[in-house]
Each structure stands twice: as structure tokens, then as C-alpha cells.
Amino acid sequence: MRARSFGSLLLAAGLIAAAAAPAHAQVQSQSQGQGQGGNVQGQRANRVVQPYIEVGQVVSAELSPGDDVLTFTQIAAGVDLNVQGRNSGAAVSLRYERNIGYGDDTVDANTVSGIARGTLALVPNTLSLEAGGLASRTRIDAGGGTTANPLVRENAESRIYSAYAGPSLNTRVGVVDVQGVTRVGYNRFEADDALVTQQGALVDVFDDSVTYLGQLRAGVRPGELLPVGLAVTAGGFQEDIGNLDQRVRDLYVRGDVTVPLTRSLALVGGAGYEDVEISSRDAVRDANGVPVRGPDGRFVTDASAPRQIAFDVDGLLWDVGVLWRPSSRTNLQAAVGRRYDSTTYYGNFTYVPSQRSAFAVSAYDGVSGFGGALGNSLAALSSDFEAIRNPVTGDFGGLVSGTEGQALIGGLGSARSAAFRGRGVRASYQRTMGRTVAAIGAGYDRRTFIAATGTVLAPLNGVTDESYYVTGGLTREIGRSANITTNAYVNWFDAAGDTNTVTAVGASAAYNQSITQRLVGRAAIAVDYFDSEFTAQDFAFATALVGLRYNF
């Protein structure tokens, strides 16, 4: 396990994100203990830096298919940071965990998990640096499906890492608004070996990728020069996938018109030119023409083989839609059109009626690899949030709560190595009700894979994997020195649209009690169940933890 080397990837991104904290920010330490997933006081401060250490004793009982019971010690250290200024902001949740088994080394592990997102103003209100990072464990099944909530002791555990950084521009030249963004990212998926389905077909699992994104937009608002608004946008995205030297390239230029109908409603439309290409090389083949696999089970790329085109579209793109902004708390953008040589739908809706409630939903459509989809979700996250973690394992499941609602990076979907067109929808809701804070997220993801004829990935061309997910968390304050936190999740995965389905369900609850100003006692329990048609047996575990946490 290379948790240390790739954990440094998240740490580097976290340091960049933390640099977004204003130099004059006053750090506020919490006077009460904080359990994972919620503050005992039930309130999030705007400026918090909370390092901590934890020690706990864990008992994990296998309920199905066996009855094995393991006991191990869990030692962890981490930091939760949230600092918001006028033009900069950062949120970081970083945790290192060491599990020590007794007489059985199957649970011995080092794990780095966390999420970081920050914005640093280089020139106030004009130029800023954005960065983010993610490290998390995931469970992967034989069909390539993933869930961000791995079962304890399950040998199908894998690890995901993602980080990006780049400048963004937002300025005004006369009556022209100018916005630009550039990002470079790296994504990695660590799996112990290739996976084999019941039919004996090997799944090539995503390894790593580098992504590049750039966009520049210039426009004038309605009423500035003309009764309508005008804008021109040029941009591009490229992902270089390590598996078989795949490359996804999407370049475009377009013009847009905004036609106001009322003070809060406008019609929007645009058209332009796109050039989209997906290509790869074939795998090395032996004397019998059988593809060669490396020690990690992935196909070995034939660097001398010519690049094969899997998808090539260039020509007209267009869309029409609506823009509705009745207040600063409500925003709707929705459009339908044509892109990638087919019909496309996308949009987003946010509603934040008060600081106690927030709702968000978005629909997306794009071409990328596994890493590109993960990086785009990370970049869409606000830099003001609180990560919600599993109270027993400490894992980050993808749900965060914050002032702009919450974001979900739990739609990992399929981990196949092939590039794909991904379409889906995700929604989230957060509400504070007195002493109770609740958050829930749900989504649907559909990936249609794209592969070149004549290559080892050719059988995947046109194959579609689908996933559905729901996850939620709730914190209830009890008096001034204790709280209860609960988390639950459900994931469904349908491989290639047939009967190869996977269902993962789990729930956890924890009680956190302040013993002194900085010392907190913790007790938690979790139940996880995994039902897969790729395996002959289902898996179920119950896990309990008792321990202490010290907040510095």
C-alpha cells in the first residue's frame, strides 16, 4: 500500500488550499469535543483550525458468510480547517489512520483520507489561485463498480487520489466582463489486482491520468451595448489516461446570446464549433495474439503501436435554455441542445432560503475518463464546507455540508479504464433544525464507454454501466457537552445494463461526550452489507468502537 506517497499528494493540495486563509485570520479553538461528522456545539465557526489525535479499540464481527471476529487498535491523527476571508477561503479535512491487529495482520493498514479545497486571491476581485485534493478508500467489485463506503476487512478495498491546481480570472475591461480558468490535475486509482467476473472476462481497472482544462470568456451584459447580452467563449479539456495511452480531447468555441424577458427571467442560446477526439493504443500481444497483462493485472501498452481513433466528432454545437434568478437565493440554469453528435441536456438549480437550509441539483453531460469525472466533481466543490466522515472507520464518503449547500463526490461509478460519455444528475439538501443538523445527497450516473475497433478495449465500445447512490448524515446536540451523529448510505451498481448488479447498504451511529475541555470520549457502531451477483456469497459486518479523542 502506497498511502504515504500518495497521501502526500493530498497533503500538498491541502497546503495550497490552506494558503488561501487570510494572514490576519484569528484561529478559534473549540472549547468542546468534536466527534467525526459533527461539532458538539452544533455550529460551524468561520475560522477554525482543529488538529486532533484519536485512539480507539475496534471489534469487527463478520455476520455473513462466516462468523469471524477481529479486534484491533485504531490510532489516528488529523486536522479539520475552515478559514474564510473576504476574497480567499479554504476548507481541509485530513486524517492519517493506523490499524494494529492482534494475531491477524489482515487488518494492519495505514490509511490517508481527506478532502481539501481552497481559493487564494492573488489580485483581489481579479486573479485567484484555486486548488483541491481528495484521498479516500473505496470498495470495488468484480464488474468494476465502486462505492465510497468500503466494508471493514473486505479484500476488495482500493484507494483513490485526486488533486488539481490553477489560476482563475474574473475582471472587467470597460463594459466587457472577462472570465478565465486554467487547471492541471492528477488522478490515481490503486487496485491490488485485475478483477474477474463470473463469466471469466477480465476488467481492466483505471490506473491514473493527467487532466488539463482551460477556458476564456468575454461578454457584455444586456443593456450595456445592446438590449441583449453577447458573449464569446473558447476552451478545451484533455485527459491523458495511463491505461493503453488513451487520450480524450475536447476543444470548442462558441457565441451566446441572452434575451431578457423580465427582470428575473431570460432566454439564452448559443452555437459554435467543437472538435472532440478519443484515441488509444493497443496492448502488447504474445505470439498467440493474447493481450499481455502486467504484474498489477492491467493491460501492458504497446508504445510502438499506432494510435487508434475511437471517437471523432467535429462540427456544429448548439443549445437553448432559460436563466431564472428571482433573488440572490434562487438560481436556475437549464439548457437542451446538441453536442458530441447527439442531444445533450445540462443545468443546475440552487435554492438557499436561509443560513439554515440549502438545496442544490445539477445535471451533467461530458466525455472523459474516470479521473476526469472525479477531478471535475472536486473542482465544483465550494471552499467552505465540513466533511462528513464515518464515525467508526473515519472514512470520507463524499458528502460535505456547507454554507452553499453540500456537494457529493460519492458518484464514483464504474472504475473501468476506458474513456466514456458520462451523463447523470445529483442532488443534495441540508437543513439545521435547532440542535439538529441534517444533510442528504443522491444521484444517478450513466457511463457509455468508447473504445477503438481493433484494440483490446473494443468489446467495451457502447457498453453502459449505471449507478445510483444515496447518502446522508445527521448530528444532534445533547446539552452543551455531547452529541449524537448518524450516517447511512445505499449504492446500486448495474454493470453493462444486464443482471450483474451490486448493492451496498450501511449505517452508523456515534456518541461523543466531552470529558474535559479538550478530551472527548467516543463510542460508535456500524453495520455494512454487500450483495453482489459477481460473487457467490454476500458480505455483512457489524463493527463497534470505543475510544478517546484529544483536540489541541
Q: Which residue has the cell 476564456?
A: 216
Residue 219, pLDDT above cutoff 90: yes
Q: What is the pLDDT of residue 150?
A: 59
C-alpha pair distances (Å), 329 with each of 44, 107, 386, 403, 552: 21, 47, 21, 12, 37
d(CA 114, CA 78): 9
What distances in angstroms separate CA 510 from CA 202, 344, 382, 420, 485, one per listed residue? 40, 43, 27, 39, 5
148-167 per-position pLDDT tens digit: 655 555 555 678 899 999 99
Note whether 273 and 251 are within 8 A (CB): no
Cβ atoms of 163 and 379 within 8 Å: the answer is no
Confidence bin at 139 (pLDDT 50/70/90): low
- Phi, psi angle pair for 12, to nearest 5°: -65, -45
| Per-residue pLDDT at 76 | 93
Q: How many Å apart are CA 157 and CA 141, to the nearest integer?
A: 9
Q: Residue ranges of the alpha helices (H) in 207-341?
A: none
Mean pLDDT computed over 205-232:
94
What pLDDT is attached to residue 439? 87
Q: Mean pLDDT over residues 434-447, rounded?
A: 90
Mean predicted confidence (pLDDT) in 505-529: 92
Residue 130 to residue 517: CA distance in whole angstroms = 35
Please give the mean pLDDT across all residues of the chain.
83
**Sign of the alpha-carbon dihedral angle for 469, 474, 518, 520:** negative
188 residue type, one letter: R
| Confidence tier at 179 by pLDDT (50, 70, 90) | very high
Instruction: Give the pLDDT confidence of 329-365 residue by residue, as tens digits.
Output: 999 999 999 999 999 999 999 998 888 888 999 999 9
pLDDT score at 266: 96
Specify the pLDDT at position 250.
96
Q: What is the C-alpha to C-alpha distance for residues 93 and 14, in angstroms, rounded to an integer? A: 8
Contact 531, 500 (CB under 8 A): no
Q: Where are the beta strands (DSSP E) in 479-538?
A: 482-495, 500-514, 519-532
What integer is the mean pLDDT of 480-504? Answer: 82
User: Where is 370: in which H helix or E strand?
Assistant: helix 370-379
Q: Can you name the residues that pair with 241 across neighbouring β-strands?
A: 209, 246
Neighbouring C-beta atoms of residue 508, cutoff 10 Å: 25
- Give me the pLDDT at residue 23, please: 38
Percent of the chain residues past pLDDT 70, beyond the cut? 82
Q: In this structure, what is the dihedral angle of CA atoms 263, 269, 270, 276, given to the nearest 10 degrees?
A: 120
Antiparallel, parallel or unpaired: β 519-532 and 500-514:
antiparallel
Q: What is the mean pLDDT of residues 72-84?
A: 91
CA distance 489 to 476: 18
SS (H, E, C) 421-445: EEEEEEEEEEEEECCEEEEEEEEEE
What is the four-CA torsion angle of 80, 85, 90, 94, rounded to 10 degrees? -10
Confidence at residue 262, expressed as pLDDT on a 0 to 100 scale:
93
Grid cell, residue 95, equals 486524517
pLDDT at position 495 over 80: no
Q: Is 223 exposed, middle or buried (0-12, 13-18, 19+ CB in 10 A)?
A: exposed
Q: Where is mean pLDDT largest: 12-26, 62-76, 146-160?
A: 62-76
Residue 259, phi-psi category: left (phi > 0), alpha (psi -120 to 50), beta (remainder): beta
What confidence score (pLDDT) does residue 534 get?
63
pLDDT, tens digit, 9 for 90 and up, residues 91-116: 999 999 888 887 665 667 788 888 99
Residue 160: the pLDDT is 87
Least confident of 196-210, 280-294, 503-517: 196-210
> Which tens digits make up the pLDDT trace of 242-266?
999 999 999 999 999 999 999 999 9
- pLDDT tens digits, 23-49: 333 333 333 333 343 333 334 446 788
The answer to whether the beta carbons of residues 73 and 58 sit under 8 Å apart is yes
